[in-house]
Amino acid sequence: MNDLFAALQSGTRTQLSVQACVLHGFALPFEDALLAGIATIADAAPFRHLVTPGGHAMQVAMTNSGRFGWCSDRRGYRYDRSDPQTGKPWPVLPDAFLRLARDAAAEAGFDGYLPDACLINRYAPGTRLSLHQDRDEDDRVAPIVSVSLGLPATFLLGGFARGDACVRVPLAHGDVVVWGGADRMRFHGVLPVKPGLHPRTGEARFNLTFRKVK
């Protein structure tokens, strides 16, 4: 493992790099509002399996909330202001979502964070997310705030090239990963989620990924 990724855990925080950390259990005070918000958003903009530009259906089901929503189809990856399935604007970000994203970013050293997009991913057992960089945002300095709910998962944080070494980060219900600034463009992914049953989400893991697009 690269020395840069010597994860230093202190209490409820694990420092992964200079501007990347895990805030263990940070989202737990918000869990009821977050789960209710996911249900409300999914009623207006249902989960779907997007298609990559190459024509492959993504394993992870997703929807969006905020001023922008992330989309993928044969035309490429991009952000749209409207849900392509309904033609309507994406559901607004609930207040609890914004408070959590702001507070987690501030705890990680990024004050004044105001995301304009939240990607909501739903993982079934066996679902994974391959290593990638978040490159579709105009703002590539503001942090990514990633919230885990439900089944546990193993997050991968790599370097700035796909072949760089990765650190494996176990994530539990309520954990929040924040990376930005000098670490913003690191490759990252999720290993296949193991089968299980969570008391709040059943056989699913949800991930809220807050981003500053513009």
- The string of pLDDT tens digits covering residues 164-195 is 999 999 999 999 999 999 999 999 999 999 99
Query: Across residues 83-97, what is the average pLDDT?
Result: 97
Position 141 confidence tier, pLDDT thresholds 50, 70, 90 = very high
pLDDT over 50 (residue 138)? yes
pLDDT over 80 (residue 2)? no
Residue ranges of domains in the chain = 3-211
> Residue 199 contacts by C-beta under 8 Å, 6 or more apart in sequence?
none
- What pLDDT is recorded for position 7? 47
> Residue 145 contacts by C-beta under 8 Å, 6 or more apart in sequence?
100, 101, 104, 105, 113, 115, 176, 177, 178, 209, 210
- What pLDDT is recorded for position 6? 43
- The string of pLDDT tens digits covering residues 43-83 is 999 999 999 999 999 999 999 999 999 999 999 999 999 99
Position 10 confidence tier, pLDDT thresholds 50, 70, 90 = low
- The string of pLDDT tens digits covering residues 92-129 is 999 999 999 999 999 999 999 999 999 999 999 999 99
Q: What is the CATH number of domain 3-211?
A: 2.60.120.590
Task: Read off the pTM.
Answer: 0.94
- What pLDDT is recorded for position 8? 52
